[in-house]
Amino acid sequence: MTIAHDDPRLTDRDGLARALGEAARRTAAVLLAKRAARDVKLKADGSPVCSADLAADSAAKQALAELLPGFPVISEESVGEVAPADIFILLDPLDGTREFLASGDSYCVAIAVIRDGRPLAGAIAAPALGRLWYGGERSFAQPLDAEAAPLGTPRQVHVRTEPVEGPLMLVSRFHGDTVSAGVAAAVAKGDGAPVSSAVKFGLIAAGEADLHVRGGATMEWDIAAGDAILAAAGGMILTLDGETPSYGNAERGFRNPPFVAASCERLARLAIEKAAACGAGSCRP
C-alpha cells in the first residue's frame, strides 16, 4: 500500500498534524490504563518492552488506520514488517519505556509522517504530564486531562529567544553520555535538566528549554515527530556532522547518528562545535 505524492491529505500539513495528535492522544490513554504493567522482556538490542508497549502499538495502528487510512506504518514494535516508502508513518508507541517502568512522568507517544526522507508532520503525547504537541506548518500545544482527553483550545507555540543567562539544556535521564554532559558543561546554564523521551523536543518547541544533545544511540522513531514539531516552531535538529537528519534508512537499521536539537541555528552550531571538542577530549567553555 502506497500514498501518492499528490494525495490531498499531504497539502494541509497542520491538518495532518492534528490527525497525528489525535492518534497520539488516543494511544496515550491506553498507556495511562496500563500504568501497572511490569511484565518486562528484553528485545534483541537489549532495550525493554512490556505489555504497555504492545497495547499502545495496537491502539496507535487502529487510530491511524481510522484517521489516516492507507499510510504504511513502521513501528518500533513491528519494524521489518513494513518497508519504507516515499511516504510513510514512523511510530513509537511508548518512547521512554524505562521512564514508564520507573513510574516517571516523561514518557510519551511519538508519531510522524515522513515524505522523501523528511518529516512532514509530527505529534507527541505525554499523558502523565498532561501534554500534547503537534506540528506541520505550525506547532501547537494542548493540555490533556487525567485520562488523556483534550482540554481547552490548542495554542500555537514557538521557540524562545536564547536566555541571557545561558540556554537551558535537557539531558537524558537514563541515557547520559560524555558528549552531552560536556556540551552542557561548556554552554548551558547548570548541568542540564534530566528529562526522558521525545518530551524534550516538545519542551524546546514550546519555549520552555533551549537545547538537547545526544551522543549515544537513538532510533528514527525516537526523534522524527520531535523534528517536525521543533522545525515548525522555529527550531531545528542537526546531526553532529552539521547535516539535516533523514528518515527511512532501513539499511542502517533505522539508527540515527548523534544529533543536537536546538531553538536556533546559532545554538545548534555552537553545540556541534563543543561536541567536537568533547570528542577530542577538551570540553571547555
Q: What CATH number is attached to the domain comprising 56?
A: 3.30.540.10
Domain co-membership, 147 together with 34: yes
Q: Which domain holds residue 220?
A: 169-279
State the burial class of residue 163 (Cβ atoms within 10 Å of its Cβ: 0-12, 13-18, 19+). exposed
State the burial class of residue 155 (Cβ atoms within 10 Å of its Cβ: 0-12, 13-18, 19+). exposed
Mean pLDDT by 10 residues, the chain (285 residues): 91 98 98 84 74 93 98 92 92 92 93 98 98 98 97 97 92 78 81 83 97 92 98 98 96 95 97 82 46
pLDDT score for 7: 95
Domain co-membership, 134 together with 191: no
pLDDT score for 35: 86
Tell the residue number behind the cell numbers 488523556, with chain if given: 148
Q: Is residue 40 part of a domain?
A: yes
pTM, two decimals, is 0.94
Q: Is residue 159 part of a domain?
A: no
Domain co-membership, 88 together with 202: no
**Which of 152, 182, 209 lies at the terminal end of a domain, its last residue?**
152
pLDDT score for 191: 66
Contact 61, 73 (CB under 8 A): yes
What domain count does the chain have? Answer: 2
Domain co-membership, 129 together with 181: no
